[in-house]
Structure 1
Protein backbone atom coordinates (compact mmCIF):
# COMPACT_ATOMS: atom_id res chain seq x y z
CA UNK A 1 0.00 0.00 0.00
CA UNK A 2 1.42 3.39 -1.02
CA UNK A 3 1.47 6.08 1.65
CA UNK A 4 0.02 9.42 0.54
CA UNK A 5 0.01 11.85 3.48
CA UNK A 6 2.68 14.36 2.41
CA UNK A 7 4.16 15.23 5.81
CA UNK A 8 4.04 11.65 7.03
CA UNK A 9 5.54 10.20 3.86
CA UNK A 10 8.37 12.78 3.84
CA UNK A 11 9.17 11.84 7.43
CA UNK A 12 9.14 8.15 6.55
CA UNK A 13 11.34 8.68 3.48
CA UNK A 14 13.82 10.54 5.67
CA UNK A 15 13.82 7.61 8.10
CA UNK A 16 14.57 5.17 5.28
CA UNK A 17 17.37 7.36 3.95
CA UNK A 18 18.92 7.94 7.40
CA UNK A 19 18.80 4.23 8.23
CA UNK A 20 20.44 3.42 4.90
CA UNK A 21 23.14 6.06 5.42
CA UNK A 22 23.89 4.62 8.86
CA UNK A 23 24.37 1.14 7.38
CA UNK A 24 26.74 2.52 4.74
CA UNK A 25 28.70 4.48 7.35
CA UNK A 26 29.08 1.48 9.67
CA UNK A 27 30.11 -0.82 6.81
CA UNK A 28 32.81 1.59 5.63
CA UNK A 29 34.07 2.05 9.20
CA UNK A 30 34.30 -1.71 9.75
CA UNK A 31 36.66 -1.98 6.78
CA UNK A 32 39.50 -0.25 8.66
CA UNK A 33 38.72 -2.01 11.94
CA UNK A 34 39.75 -5.27 10.26
CA UNK A 35 43.32 -3.94 9.87
CA UNK A 36 45.25 -4.35 13.11
CA UNK A 37 48.45 -2.59 14.17
CA UNK A 38 51.44 -4.87 13.39
CA UNK A 39 52.68 -6.85 16.39
CA UNK A 40 56.47 -6.39 16.42
CA UNK A 41 58.68 -7.93 19.08
CA UNK A 42 61.93 -6.43 20.42
CA UNK A 43 64.49 -5.57 19.32
CA UNK A 44 62.61 -3.00 17.25
CA UNK A 45 63.92 -1.75 13.92
CA UNK A 46 62.68 0.09 10.85
CA UNK A 47 63.36 -3.02 8.77
CA UNK A 48 61.04 -5.08 10.98
CA UNK A 49 58.44 -2.35 10.79
CA UNK A 50 58.57 -2.27 6.98
CA UNK A 51 58.32 -6.06 6.82
CA UNK A 52 55.29 -6.00 9.11
CA UNK A 53 53.62 -3.27 7.05
CA UNK A 54 54.39 -5.22 3.90
CA UNK A 55 52.36 -8.10 5.28
CA UNK A 56 49.37 -5.74 5.47
CA UNK A 57 49.47 -4.68 1.81
CA UNK A 58 46.76 -7.16 0.87
CA UNK A 59 44.47 -5.87 3.60
CA UNK A 60 45.00 -2.27 2.52
CA UNK A 61 44.23 -3.23 -1.09
CA UNK A 62 41.01 -4.86 0.10
CA UNK A 63 40.20 -1.77 2.17
CA UNK A 64 40.75 0.65 -0.71
CA UNK A 65 38.83 -1.41 -3.27
CA UNK A 66 35.89 -2.01 -0.91
CA UNK A 67 35.88 1.60 0.31
CA UNK A 68 35.40 2.92 -3.21
CA UNK A 69 32.95 0.17 -4.19
CA UNK A 70 30.78 0.95 -1.15
CA UNK A 71 31.29 4.66 -1.75
CA UNK A 72 30.11 4.35 -5.36
CA UNK A 73 26.98 2.54 -4.28
CA UNK A 74 26.32 5.11 -1.54
CA UNK A 75 26.57 7.95 -4.08
CA UNK A 76 24.17 6.12 -6.37
CA UNK A 77 21.80 5.35 -3.48
CA UNK A 78 21.92 9.00 -2.39
CA UNK A 79 21.08 10.22 -5.91
CA UNK A 80 18.35 7.63 -6.38
CA UNK A 81 16.64 8.55 -3.13
CA UNK A 82 16.69 12.17 -4.28
CA UNK A 83 14.05 11.18 -6.85
CA UNK A 84 11.79 9.49 -4.30
CA UNK A 85 8.48 11.11 -3.48
CA UNK A 86 6.74 8.03 -2.16
CA UNK A 87 7.43 4.58 -0.78
CA UNK A 88 5.81 1.18 -0.50
CA UNK A 89 6.53 -2.21 1.02
CA UNK A 90 8.35 -3.44 -2.07
CA UNK A 91 10.79 -0.54 -1.88
CA UNK A 92 11.44 -1.22 1.81
CA UNK A 93 12.22 -4.89 1.24
CA UNK A 94 14.40 -4.39 -1.83
CA UNK A 95 16.30 -1.64 -0.02
CA UNK A 96 16.75 -3.94 2.98
CA UNK A 97 18.20 -6.71 0.80
CA UNK A 98 20.49 -4.16 -0.82
CA UNK A 99 21.71 -3.03 2.60
CA UNK A 100 22.33 -6.66 3.57
CA UNK A 101 24.78 -6.90 0.67
CA UNK A 102 26.54 -3.77 1.97
CA UNK A 103 26.74 -5.17 5.51
CA UNK A 104 28.44 -8.30 4.16
CA UNK A 105 31.16 -6.27 2.45
CA UNK A 106 33.54 -5.85 5.44
CA UNK A 107 33.59 -9.62 6.00
CA UNK A 108 34.01 -10.61 2.35
CA UNK A 109 36.66 -7.91 1.91
CA UNK A 110 38.60 -9.12 4.98
CA UNK A 111 38.27 -12.75 3.87
CA UNK A 112 39.61 -11.89 0.42
CA UNK A 113 42.47 -9.66 1.59
CA UNK A 114 43.56 -12.10 4.31
CA UNK A 115 44.25 -14.92 1.87
CA UNK A 116 44.92 -13.26 -1.48
CA UNK A 117 48.71 -13.70 -1.11
CA UNK A 118 48.20 -17.45 -0.64
CA UNK A 119 46.85 -17.63 -4.19
CA UNK A 120 43.46 -19.06 -3.17
CA UNK A 121 40.45 -18.55 -5.41
CA UNK A 122 37.66 -19.20 -2.90
CA UNK A 123 38.16 -15.86 -1.05
CA UNK A 124 38.13 -13.99 -4.37
CA UNK A 125 35.03 -15.81 -5.59
CA UNK A 126 33.26 -15.15 -2.27
CA UNK A 127 34.13 -11.46 -2.61
CA UNK A 128 32.93 -11.43 -6.23
CA UNK A 129 29.62 -13.05 -5.21
CA UNK A 130 29.13 -10.32 -2.61
CA UNK A 131 29.78 -7.60 -5.21
CA UNK A 132 27.41 -9.29 -7.67
CA UNK A 133 24.74 -9.53 -4.97
CA UNK A 134 25.18 -5.81 -4.28
CA UNK A 135 25.04 -4.93 -7.97
CA UNK A 136 21.93 -7.03 -8.58
CA UNK A 137 20.05 -5.56 -5.61
CA UNK A 138 21.12 -2.06 -6.61
CA UNK A 139 19.81 -2.72 -10.13
CA UNK A 140 16.57 -4.08 -8.64
CA UNK A 141 16.22 -1.02 -6.41
CA UNK A 142 16.52 1.23 -9.44
CA UNK A 143 13.87 -0.80 -11.27
CA UNK A 144 11.44 -0.41 -8.37
CA UNK A 145 12.05 3.33 -7.91
CA UNK A 146 11.81 4.12 -11.63
CA UNK A 147 8.80 1.91 -12.39
CA UNK A 148 5.87 4.24 -13.21
CA UNK A 149 3.46 1.55 -12.01
CA UNK A 150 4.52 2.16 -8.41
CA UNK A 151 4.47 5.98 -8.65
CA UNK A 152 7.38 6.35 -6.21
CA UNK A 153 9.50 9.02 -7.90
CA UNK A 154 9.65 12.09 -10.08
CA UNK A 155 12.37 12.86 -12.61
CA UNK A 156 12.94 9.28 -13.76
CA UNK A 157 10.52 9.23 -16.68
CA UNK A 158 13.42 9.55 -19.14
CA UNK A 159 14.27 5.93 -19.92
CA UNK A 160 17.66 6.95 -21.30
CA UNK A 161 18.56 8.35 -17.89
CA UNK A 162 17.37 5.15 -16.22
CA UNK A 163 19.43 3.10 -18.67
CA UNK A 164 22.49 5.23 -17.85
CA UNK A 165 22.03 4.54 -14.13
CA UNK A 166 21.46 0.84 -14.81
CA UNK A 167 24.67 0.54 -16.82
CA UNK A 168 26.69 2.38 -14.20
CA UNK A 169 25.31 0.18 -11.43
CA UNK A 170 26.46 -2.97 -13.22
CA UNK A 171 30.07 -1.91 -13.89
CA UNK A 172 31.53 -3.25 -10.64
CA UNK A 173 29.69 -6.63 -10.70
CA UNK A 174 30.64 -7.28 -14.34
CA UNK A 175 34.29 -6.34 -13.77
CA UNK A 176 34.46 -8.56 -10.68
CA UNK A 177 32.86 -11.46 -12.57
CA UNK A 178 35.47 -10.98 -15.30
CA UNK A 179 38.18 -10.98 -12.62
CA UNK A 180 36.84 -14.26 -11.22
CA UNK A 181 37.08 -15.87 -14.66
CA UNK A 182 40.59 -14.48 -15.21
CA UNK A 183 41.64 -15.95 -11.84
CA UNK A 184 41.51 -19.43 -13.38
CA UNK A 185 44.24 -18.30 -15.79
CA UNK A 186 46.28 -15.99 -13.57
CA UNK A 187 45.20 -14.96 -10.08
CA UNK A 188 47.30 -11.80 -9.90
CA UNK A 189 46.08 -10.67 -13.31
CA UNK A 190 42.57 -11.04 -11.91
CA UNK A 191 43.44 -8.60 -9.12
CA UNK A 192 44.70 -6.12 -11.71
CA UNK A 193 41.33 -6.37 -13.47
CA UNK A 194 39.79 -4.37 -10.61
CA UNK A 195 41.46 -1.31 -12.16
CA UNK A 196 39.01 -1.56 -15.06
CA UNK A 197 36.20 -0.16 -12.89
CA UNK A 198 37.24 3.53 -13.07
CA UNK A 199 38.02 3.24 -16.79
CA UNK A 200 34.57 1.86 -17.63
CA UNK A 201 32.94 4.47 -15.36
CA UNK A 202 34.74 7.29 -17.16
CA UNK A 203 33.88 5.81 -20.56
CA UNK A 204 30.15 5.53 -19.79
CA UNK A 205 30.08 9.02 -18.30
CA UNK A 206 31.71 10.50 -21.39
CA UNK A 207 29.41 8.56 -23.70
CA UNK A 208 26.28 9.92 -22.04
CA UNK A 209 27.69 13.37 -21.27
CA UNK A 210 28.05 14.13 -24.99
CA UNK A 211 24.43 13.30 -25.77
CA UNK A 212 22.75 14.06 -22.46
CA UNK A 213 24.73 16.69 -20.49
CA UNK A 214 21.70 17.40 -18.28
CA UNK A 215 22.18 14.02 -16.56
CA UNK A 216 25.24 15.47 -14.82
CA UNK A 217 23.73 18.73 -13.54
Structure 2
Protein backbone atom coordinates (compact mmCIF):
# COMPACT_ATOMS: atom_id res chain seq x y z
CA UNK A 1 0.00 0.00 0.00
CA UNK A 2 1.26 3.48 -0.85
CA UNK A 3 1.64 6.25 1.70
CA UNK A 4 -0.90 8.42 -0.16
CA UNK A 5 -3.54 5.68 -0.13
CA UNK A 6 -3.05 5.07 3.60
CA UNK A 7 -3.37 8.80 4.29
CA UNK A 8 -6.61 8.98 2.29
CA UNK A 9 -8.08 6.03 4.17
CA UNK A 10 -7.03 7.58 7.50
CA UNK A 11 -8.57 10.94 6.64
CA UNK A 12 -11.83 9.17 5.85
CA UNK A 13 -11.91 7.47 9.25
CA UNK A 14 -11.20 10.76 11.02
CA UNK A 15 -14.00 12.42 9.03
CA UNK A 16 -16.47 9.69 9.98
CA UNK A 17 -15.49 9.94 13.65
CA UNK A 18 -16.08 13.69 13.90
CA UNK A 19 -19.33 13.33 11.95
CA UNK A 20 -20.63 10.69 14.36
CA UNK A 21 -19.81 12.95 17.30
CA UNK A 22 -22.48 15.44 16.27
CA UNK A 23 -25.12 12.69 16.32
CA UNK A 24 -24.74 12.62 20.11
CA UNK A 25 -26.32 16.09 20.25
CA UNK A 26 -30.07 15.75 20.64
CA UNK A 27 -32.54 18.53 19.92
CA UNK A 28 -33.53 19.96 23.32
CA UNK A 29 -36.99 21.08 24.29
CA UNK A 30 -39.01 18.92 21.89
CA UNK A 31 -41.79 18.76 24.52
CA UNK A 32 -41.49 22.40 25.58
CA UNK A 33 -44.80 24.23 25.94
CA UNK A 34 -43.36 27.69 26.65
CA UNK A 35 -40.21 29.65 25.94
CA UNK A 36 -39.16 29.15 29.56
CA UNK A 37 -39.41 25.37 29.08
CA UNK A 38 -37.22 25.60 25.99
CA UNK A 39 -34.59 27.72 27.76
CA UNK A 40 -34.52 25.22 30.62
CA UNK A 41 -34.14 22.31 28.19
CA UNK A 42 -31.26 24.04 26.40
CA UNK A 43 -29.54 24.72 29.72
CA UNK A 44 -29.93 21.09 30.76
CA UNK A 45 -28.40 19.88 27.50
CA UNK A 46 -25.00 21.49 28.16
CA UNK A 47 -23.18 18.16 28.77
CA UNK A 48 -23.97 17.10 25.19
CA UNK A 49 -22.72 20.34 23.63
CA UNK A 50 -19.63 20.54 25.84
CA UNK A 51 -18.68 16.92 25.23
CA UNK A 52 -19.13 17.41 21.47
CA UNK A 53 -16.94 20.53 21.37
CA UNK A 54 -14.23 18.97 23.50
CA UNK A 55 -14.24 15.62 21.69
CA UNK A 56 -14.16 17.34 18.29
CA UNK A 57 -11.07 19.28 19.40
CA UNK A 58 -9.47 16.11 20.74
CA UNK A 59 -10.01 14.24 17.47
CA UNK A 60 -8.75 17.32 15.64
CA UNK A 61 -5.54 17.30 17.67
CA UNK A 62 -5.02 13.60 16.92
CA UNK A 63 -5.66 14.27 13.22
CA UNK A 64 -3.03 17.03 13.15
CA UNK A 65 -0.61 14.73 15.00
CA UNK A 66 -1.35 11.96 12.48
CA UNK A 67 -0.63 14.34 9.59
CA UNK A 68 2.70 15.25 11.15
CA UNK A 69 3.61 11.58 11.54
CA UNK A 70 3.02 11.00 7.84
CA UNK A 71 5.03 14.12 7.03
CA UNK A 72 7.98 12.31 8.62
CA UNK A 73 7.38 9.10 6.64
CA UNK A 74 8.91 8.33 3.29
CA UNK A 75 7.87 4.67 3.08
CA UNK A 76 5.16 2.50 4.62
CA UNK A 77 5.88 -1.03 5.84
CA UNK A 78 3.77 -3.80 7.38
CA UNK A 79 4.16 -2.48 10.93
CA UNK A 80 3.14 1.05 9.96
CA UNK A 81 0.12 -0.32 8.11
CA UNK A 82 -1.21 -2.30 11.07
CA UNK A 83 -0.21 0.26 13.70
CA UNK A 84 -2.25 2.77 11.71
CA UNK A 85 -5.23 0.38 11.63
CA UNK A 86 -5.23 0.05 15.43
CA UNK A 87 -4.77 3.80 15.82
CA UNK A 88 -7.77 4.46 13.58
CA UNK A 89 -9.82 1.87 15.47
CA UNK A 90 -9.34 3.93 18.64
CA UNK A 91 -10.24 7.13 16.78
CA UNK A 92 -13.36 5.57 15.25
CA UNK A 93 -14.73 4.42 18.63
CA UNK A 94 -14.41 7.92 20.11
CA UNK A 95 -18.11 8.85 19.62
CA UNK A 96 -19.16 6.00 21.94
CA UNK A 97 -17.32 7.09 25.13
CA UNK A 98 -18.19 10.69 24.26
CA UNK A 99 -21.90 9.79 24.25
CA UNK A 100 -21.59 7.91 27.55
CA UNK A 101 -19.75 10.83 29.15
CA UNK A 102 -22.37 13.29 27.90
CA UNK A 103 -25.11 11.25 29.57
CA UNK A 104 -23.23 10.65 32.84
CA UNK A 105 -20.52 13.33 33.14
CA UNK A 106 -19.79 12.70 36.83
CA UNK A 107 -19.88 8.90 36.82
CA UNK A 108 -16.37 7.43 37.39
CA UNK A 109 -17.00 4.59 34.92
CA UNK A 110 -17.94 7.08 32.17
CA UNK A 111 -14.79 9.12 32.83
CA UNK A 112 -12.60 6.00 32.90
CA UNK A 113 -14.09 4.81 29.59
CA UNK A 114 -13.49 8.20 27.96
CA UNK A 115 -9.95 8.49 29.34
CA UNK A 116 -9.23 4.90 28.37
CA UNK A 117 -9.90 5.60 24.70
CA UNK A 118 -7.86 8.82 24.86
CA UNK A 119 -5.04 6.87 26.51
CA UNK A 120 -5.12 4.32 23.69
CA UNK A 121 -5.00 7.02 21.00
CA UNK A 122 -2.16 8.90 22.68
CA UNK A 123 -0.16 5.73 23.38
CA UNK A 124 -0.51 4.52 19.80
CA UNK A 125 0.62 7.93 18.60
CA UNK A 126 3.69 7.65 20.84
CA UNK A 127 4.49 4.15 19.52
CA UNK A 128 4.19 5.49 15.96
CA UNK A 129 6.72 8.25 16.66
CA UNK A 130 9.09 5.92 18.51
CA UNK A 131 9.06 3.39 15.66
CA UNK A 132 9.78 6.05 13.05
CA UNK A 133 12.53 7.50 15.23
CA UNK A 134 14.24 4.09 15.44
CA UNK A 135 13.92 3.12 11.75
CA UNK A 136 15.86 5.62 9.69
CA UNK A 137 15.11 4.02 6.32
CA UNK A 138 11.40 4.85 6.69
CA UNK A 139 11.97 8.55 7.24
CA UNK A 140 12.13 11.60 5.04
CA UNK A 141 15.65 13.09 4.68
CA UNK A 142 14.42 16.25 6.41
CA UNK A 143 13.69 14.32 9.62
CA UNK A 144 15.66 15.82 12.51
CA UNK A 145 16.42 13.16 15.19
CA UNK A 146 17.45 15.77 17.75
CA UNK A 147 14.27 17.80 17.36
CA UNK A 148 12.10 14.72 17.43
CA UNK A 149 13.54 13.40 20.68
CA UNK A 150 11.81 16.44 22.12
CA UNK A 151 8.68 15.57 20.13
CA UNK A 152 8.73 12.10 21.70
CA UNK A 153 8.94 13.62 25.17
CA UNK A 154 5.98 15.88 24.36
CA UNK A 155 3.98 12.90 23.04
CA UNK A 156 4.39 11.18 26.40
CA UNK A 157 2.43 13.91 28.19
CA UNK A 158 -0.93 12.75 26.81
CA UNK A 159 -0.89 9.13 28.06
CA UNK A 160 0.29 10.34 31.47
CA UNK A 161 -2.48 12.95 31.78
CA UNK A 162 -5.19 10.53 30.65
CA UNK A 163 -3.96 7.85 33.06
CA UNK A 164 -3.99 10.33 35.96
CA UNK A 165 -7.45 11.51 34.90
CA UNK A 166 -8.77 7.94 35.03
CA UNK A 167 -7.22 7.37 38.47
CA UNK A 168 -8.76 10.59 39.85
CA UNK A 169 -12.24 9.76 38.57
CA UNK A 170 -13.12 7.66 41.61
CA UNK A 171 -12.63 10.42 44.16
CA UNK A 172 -12.46 13.73 42.27
CA UNK A 173 -14.13 13.92 38.82
CA UNK A 174 -13.23 17.61 38.57
CA UNK A 175 -9.52 16.74 38.77
CA UNK A 176 -10.06 14.23 35.97
CA UNK A 177 -11.51 16.91 33.71
CA UNK A 178 -8.64 19.24 34.62
CA UNK A 179 -6.07 16.68 33.47
CA UNK A 180 -7.98 16.10 30.21
CA UNK A 181 -8.28 19.83 29.50
CA UNK A 182 -4.59 20.44 30.32
CA UNK A 183 -3.56 17.70 27.88
CA UNK A 184 -5.78 19.11 25.13
CA UNK A 185 -4.59 22.69 25.34
CA UNK A 186 -0.99 21.61 25.90
CA UNK A 187 -1.08 19.79 22.57
CA UNK A 188 -2.89 22.62 20.81
CA UNK A 189 -0.15 25.06 21.86
CA UNK A 190 2.69 22.63 21.12
CA UNK A 191 1.31 21.68 17.69
CA UNK A 192 0.93 25.36 16.84
CA UNK A 193 4.60 26.06 17.54
CA UNK A 194 5.74 22.85 15.83
CA UNK A 195 3.74 23.78 12.73
CA UNK A 196 5.36 27.20 12.67
CA UNK A 197 8.80 25.61 12.83
CA UNK A 198 8.18 22.81 10.35
CA UNK A 199 5.23 22.86 7.92
CA UNK A 200 3.36 19.57 7.55
CA UNK A 201 3.61 19.73 3.78
CA UNK A 202 6.37 20.86 1.50
Q: CA contact under 8 A between 1:161 and 1:215: conserved in structure 2?
A: no
SS at match of 2:165: helix
Q: Following the alignment from structure 2 to structure 1, what is the Cα–Cα distance between the partners of residues 146 and 191? A: 13
Q: 1:18 to 1:186 in 2, by over 3 A?
A: same
Tell me the equivalent position of 1:19.
9
Q: How large is the Cα RMSD of the aligned pairs? A: 2.6
- Following superposition, the deviation at residue 201 of structure 1 comes to 3.8
- Following superposition, the deviation at residue 193 of structure 1 comes to 3.2
The question of 1:174 aligning with 2:155 is answered no
Q: 1:184 aligns with which of 162, 165, 170?
A: 170
Q: CA contact under 8 A between 1:145 and 1:153: conserved in structure 2?
A: yes
Q: CA contact under 8 A between 2:97 and 2:113: conserved in structure 1?
A: yes
**Which fold has the larger relative contact order, with Cα–Cα distance below 8 Å and residues 6 or more apart in sequence?**
2
Q: Following the alignment from structure 2 to structure 1, what is the Cα–Cα distance between the partners of residues 27 and 100? A: 18
The question of 1:121 aligning with 2:108 is answered yes
Structure 2 gaps, min length 5: none
Tell me the equivalent position of 2:180.
194
Q: 1:70 to 1:214 in 2, by over 3 A?
A: closer
Q: Following the alignment from structure 2 to structure 1, what is the Cα–Cα distance between the partners of residues 7 and 167? A: 36
The question of 1:59 aligning with 2:48 is answered yes
The question of 1:71 aligning with 2:60 is answered yes
Tell me the equivalent position of 1:90.
79
Q: Deviations over 1:122-160 (max 9, x none)?
A: 0100111101111111111122233325x1111465333
Structure 1 gaps, min length 5: 1-8
Q: TM-score, normalised by structure 2?
A: 0.86
The alignment of Structure 1 onto Structure 2 pairs a total of residues equal to 199
Q: Following the alignment from structure 1 to structure 2, what is the Cα–Cα distance between the partners of residues 156 and 80? A: 13
Q: 1:35 aligns with which of 25, 28, 38?
A: 25
Q: Following the alignment from structure 2 to structure 1, what is the Cα–Cα distance between the partners of residues 151 and 15? A: 23
Q: TM-score, normalised by structure 1?
A: 0.80
Larger Cα-atom Rg: 1
Q: CA contact under 8 A between 1:142 and 1:166: conserved in structure 2?
A: yes
Q: Following the alignment from structure 1 to structure 2, what is the Cα–Cα distance between the partners of residues 39 and 146? A: 52
Q: CA contact under 8 A between 2:87 and 2:124: conserved in structure 1?
A: yes
- Following superposition, the deviation at residue 69 of structure 1 comes to 1.1
- Following superposition, the deviation at residue 203 of structure 1 comes to 7.5
